[in-house]
Every structure is written in structure tokens, then in C-alpha cells.
Structure 1
Amino acid sequence: MLRRLGRGMRKGIGASAAGQARELARLTAQLGAPVPSCRRIVVTSVRGGAGKSTIAALVAGVIRRHRDDRVIAIDADPGLGSLPLRLDVRGARSLRDLAAARPQSWDETAAFLTRTEEGLWVLPAHSERKLGGDLDDEIFRAGAGRLGRYFSTSVIDCGAGLVSGLQRGVLSGAHAQVFVAPGTTDGAASARAALGWFAQNGHGPLLSRTVIALVAHTPSPGAELERAAEELSAAGLLVVHIPYDRHLAAGIAITPERVGGAARDAATLIAAEAFARSLSGGAT
């Protein structure tokens, strides 16, 4: 089923360096394209520790740098997600606060958001004053659903897992997906199982608008990473390898200038591919 859904799609493994550079330049140019409505790009993973929040922060930052309008990163992790940490923001208000307030204008809405030095808007799932607490699909829709009129793109960092009501709700409104998996054979196996779950649970159309980010967590992953990439790309989906990067591995706030060139190029490719796919079809 995955092969049928992915048939004809370009693979990210084995292309020439020159061809990759030309394709990246073409896709990057598309990041500034007009959008018919706010594009919702969800970043998901089966397990915690895969690098999901890091990828979400990188993707949101790339899109922001290539657009003149507003872009927002939304933390939809019901636990204590690390997206605000990675983006170096601290908010006194949260997604839950926004949902309860129901603001009616941009000025009222902006009071619930924070902004990075690079101009990326951020909506934390939890405020510094009140950590934790339930976050469900109803709260997410009441809060994030009001943002579409003000933003061209939202990058949504989901919690680990796929089957909760919140996760299903976020996926149902997604225009594109970045699925993050560790660059190991075990990570590839869990990712393939998850992709099968998408196909069998009403999210099959989203697979054609999915980019797989395969993250290396050690400096020398070796043959294990190659096997993982082969297993996932065999399904016909785009797989992009995020090489080990010392700055990203530190788990601190991301400074774009300190991210290595290889990791930066990979993040740009993921962002460009996900954004291009978000324009190719409606939400699932």
C-alpha cells in the first residue's frame, strides 16, 4: 500500500550533489509563494527523543527566513515539549490561555504569542506560570484555529505518538507532514509501522505530502543509518538524512549561525519539500 501511495515520488537518497543543489534552489524559491490559506505543516514522531522538536524549530525558522509575511511555530505537545526551549522563547501565556480568551483582533491575539529574534512567532502549549495540564483537541482547535487568518504558515510540533484524540485532530487538519525517526534500524522499523497506520486509519492521502526526517544521533552512525534510509525510501517516500550536528545535539536553544552546513542544508530541504507538498492538496 505504501509503495502504491508513494509511486512516482522523488527519492532523497542517491541523487547527485549537483542535482540536489539545483532542486534545493528551486524548492527554496517556492517558500515565498502566495498561499490560498494558512498552510499547516505537522511534525510528528512515534517516540520521544527522536529529534521532533528540533526539526520543528529548524523547519519553522527556514520558512520564516524565506517569507515576508507571518509564520508561527505552535507547540501542541500535551507534555512539557521542548519547542520553546529550542526557539529560546518564554511565554507568560499559552495555547490554553488563547483558547479561553477567544480574541477578536490581531492585536488581542498577538498578546498571547511570543516572537524570536529572527521574527518567528511562537505559541507555547504551556505558560511559565502554569506548567502541565490537559491539552486536548477541543482546546487546540479553539486556540490554534483562530490563527489561520493572521499567518501564512503554521508549523505544529505534536507530542510523541499518533493515536490520541489530539494527535488525530491535528493530523486531520494537516496540509503536509514531517515525520521524524531516529537514524537506526529500530527507528526505521517503527517508522514503517507508523506509515502503515496512517494508510489504514484514514490518513493515506497525507502520505503523499509527507517528508521523512531521518536523524543521526551519533557522529558516526555508519551502516545502520544506510540500512534505515534504504528501508524507508523503499516505500517510495522522500527520506532526508539529518546528519549529526554538535550544536543541535547539545539540546540548548538553537542559534542558526552555529548549525553546521550539512544539517542546515538538510533542514532547508525538509522545509522546502514540506511547504511545496502543503500547496499540492487540501487537509486530510
Structure 2
Amino acid sequence: MLRCNKSLGELALLGNDALVGDPGSLAFTVIALLLAGAGAGFAGGLFGIGGGFVVVPALVLLFPMLGVEQSQVAHVAVGTSLATIIFTSIRSTMSHAARNAVDFSVLKSWAPFVVLGTVFGTLIADRVTGAELAMIFGVGVLGFAVYFLWPSRGEEKQLVPMPAGLPRAGIAGGLGVISALLGIGGGTLTTLVMTTCGNPIHRSIGTAAGMGAIIAIPATIGFLLIGFGEPNLPWGSVGYVNLPAALVITLMSVLIAPLGVATAHLLRPEILRRVFGIYLVVVGVTMIAKY
């Protein structure tokens, strides 16, 4: 059941304070969400990430313009981002699988530990303030920026076994924790582990894309539950997931994700990796400075 703090009639009079109302405000909101969805879908297909690095900052900027309480912005942005990742991840994985670039054995063996980590990360998110969550996101983004900006030596690596036993449980569980807190699909860490073990970059990215849904499904349910009953949530929210925003972003990201996948299989990603890394630096610094 949708949480509405005001009646629809009242919302129509609020203009910029809601997702409905003034036609100009509504048009701006939809365009901004469509752009965020396009960026998330392209990045998700290209890098095997869920798109949260694009969606969360966009929603953090957009929600205050719509009258969302500042204390709720970060939680709703992360929860909504996780909801969009479910479908972006599935669409990207299907496109990569069509090119035989998904290692489903890795997804199956990592899934139980990833889900447990995701649950734990959601519980942590329930116990931190919006400002603290935004700071965690900013610092985490800067950490991932290092990966994208680090020079690639480009030499062939010897294929070694993927982590098993306790190392696999620790890495996969930590992936779930980090992803739930940041509202991302965990593709960057998955790609890093697989390429370090000598797997081809395209197969690593394709497998990482599939990890997004494994993370996002339990994390989205968690944010629905921990936000249920919270006051001052934006119109159309169920817990910390804003359904109208998630719907618009998802529609665009699902359409654009195959374009990112096609680009990943056509181009050498070095320059694009650097550009995305610079983007993450800007996002991380902005989030830390803002909060």
C-alpha cells in the first residue's frame, strides 16, 4: 500500500513539493529521472554495475527539490536505487548471456553469502542517520573510483581458481554489505575479483551484471521493511522505496542497458573507465561536502 502523507488533492496544490502537481515541475522531474535511468542502464551494461553510482546521486539532488525531508533523502535514494537495479541487472545479464559472457557457476556459489551480507548491510543502514549514510556512500564511491582510475597494465594473467571456502564467504558477504549500504549492484568488486583471477574482462563484466539482482532483491525488501511507517516520506513511497521514481528510471535503464552491453563488447574500455572514474570522484567529493 502506498504511503501518502497528504491527499492527492493537497499534493496537486504543492507544485515542487511533490511528484505530482505543476505540469512544469512534473515534466522536469520525469526528464531528470529518464536521464538518470539512461545513465544507469548504459553504465550497467558497459561496466557490469547495477547503475546505483548514477541513480543515487541523481535522486539525492532531485528529492529535496520535491519537498523530501533532508533526513530521509539518503535512505529513499538508496532504497529506490536498489529497486531499479533488479531489472537493470536482469536485462544486462540476459544481453551478456546471449554472448556467452556470464559464468553462472560463480553466481550460484556466491549467492548465499552475498544475500547474508546484504541482510546485514540493510540492518546497518537502519541504524545510521541520513547524513551518515550519505557520507558512507561518498567515501565508498571514492574507493571504487580508485579501481576505475588505476592504470591497467594490460598483460595476460594466468587463470587461477576463484576464491573458495572462507575467502569466498568473506568476499561475497562483504560485497553484500557494501552494496546494500551504497545502493549499488556490486559489479565493480565482482569484476575486480574475477579479472584478478585471470578471467576475461567481458566474462567478468557479464557475471558482475548478474550479481546485481542477487544483491538488489533482498536489499530492496529490506529497505521496504525498515522504512515502513516512517513519517515524511515522499508521495508514492513504500518504505524507503519511491515507486514512481523507480518505475521511470527502470523503464529507461532497461531500454538502454543493451546499448551499454553492445558497447562493452565493441570497444576497449580504458578511456571510458577513466571517464567513469573521474565521475565517481566528483560524486564522492560532492556527497561528502554536502553532508
TM-score by length of 1: 0.30
Structure with larger Rg: 2
Instruction: Give the structure with the larger strand fraction.
Output: 1
Instruction: Give the structure with the larger helix fraction.
Output: 2
Higher relative contact order (CA 8 A, sep 6+): 2
